[in-house]
Structure formats: C-alpha cells, structure tokens
Structure 1
C-alpha cells in the first residue's frame, strides 16, 4: 500500500480523486490516523450533492460516522491505479534484490524523451514517485 506521505504529496501536487468501489482512503483527522477505509457500495459509497462530494458510511459500521467530505479524505491509490496514471510514459517495473524500479519516459518540449527511474522497496511507492514527478512537470 502506498505510504501516507506519498499520498499527501500526490494530492498536494494536484492529483484528483474520483472515488470508485475498492478505493482505499484515510481521514485527515488525528484520531483516525492508523485507519484505512475502503469505498464499497455496501458500506462506504461516494455521493454527489450540490455542496460537493461526500463519502457516506452506510449502516454505521464505522464508529457512527455518517459521512465525510471528499476533501477530508486522503486517497491511497492502488499500484495498478498509479500505473494507469502514468499511461504511455510507463516503460518498466523491475524487481531488484532490495528495491523496485519504475522507469518512465517523459518528453520536455520537442526534444527526445528523457528516461527517468524511481526506486523504492515498495512497488506502489516507486510508481507514486514516478507519478509525482510527472505531475510536477505538468504543473
């Protein structure tokens, strides 16, 4: 699972979350720091209102939470979601003895593609580092 620190960095870099069933998230509240929630039609579902998006907790299975605003939730993207965000820039995922490498290729202007490699012991975090760099270059 992606680290909280990288999830915050991705959000701060402009990554927008459109909740889907199976997505994981944390709440930006100290008392929920260690808790990870999962969007599911049965228990937690995204709802659209004129005032914004909410994550509704059905059946009060989560400490009597009714709902939280989407902006108060921190998305923890899955590895495959991060890979999808890289789209055509993704070149390879390599497993090394103590780490994983994600290689991407980005083009800056009309010049040739630049190959970039991001390492982390967790493959999801290596993908997150690559997405973070891509977002920084777009901004």
Structure 2
C-alpha cells in the first residue's frame, strides 16, 4: 500500500479519484490520519449528488461521523489502479533479488525508465508521478 505522503503527492499532481467499491482512503484530519478506510457498500459507500461525491459511513460505531465530502478524504490507490493509470506507458514490473520492485514505463518521447522502491505500489506511484509531470 502506498504511503499517505505518496498519496498526497499524487493528489497534488492532479491524479483524480472517482470513489468506487474497494478503494482505500484516509480522512484528512489529524485525529484520523492513521485510520485507513475501505469503500464497501456495507460500511462506507460513495454517494453521488449534484454537489459532489459524499462518502457515507453506514453503521460505523468507531466514531460519530455520518458522511463527509470526498474532498476531505485522501485516496490510497492500489497497485492495480496505479498500473491501470499508467496505461500504454507501462512496460514491466519485476522484483530484484534484493526484494526491491522495479516498474518500467516508456513515456512518449523518452527512453524507457525504471522506478525502484521497496513496495510495488510505491514504484508504480513514482512512475505515475513522472508520467503526470511529463504530460503537464
């Protein structure tokens, strides 16, 4: 799972979140910063309204919050979601003997480039950040 710091970088870079079942997120509040939530129809569901997406907490007893705007949440994209966002630039992912992961992408107009991290999702996220920067 990517770190909150990496998720914040993705958010600042403009990577959009369209909440869906199975998505993980944290609430942007100091007292909840360490709590990771998962969208699931039985617990937390995304409800679309003309004013925006609302994350509704159904039957949660841990804390007294009925719902919050999606803008108050920070998406923690999964490995598969990050890979999908890389689209046709993604070339490969491998794990070195050291245990580190290498994600290779080919950004248009650039030679293939490897992004290495101790966590596969972090390597994918670094590659996505480079792709977004190149497009910007």
| Superposition TM-score, scaled by structure 1 size | 0.93
Query: Runs of 5+ in structure 2 lacking a partner?
Result: none
Alignment match, 1:79: 79
Deviations 1:50-82 (A, max 9, x none): 221110001133412101111110000000110
Gaps of 5+ in 1: none
Tell me the residue number matched to 2:121: 124
Deviating beyond 2 angstroms after TM superposition, the runs of 4 or more aligned structure 1 residues are: none
Out of 70-79 and 59-68, give the one that drifted further. 59-68
TM-score (norm 2): 0.95
Cα separation, 1, equivalents of 2:111 and 2:27: 37
Paired residues in the alignment total 135
My pick for the range that moved more, 98-107 or 59-68, is 59-68
- Residue 100 of structure 2 corresponds to 99
Aligned position for 2:60: 60
The Cα RMSD (Å) is: 1.0
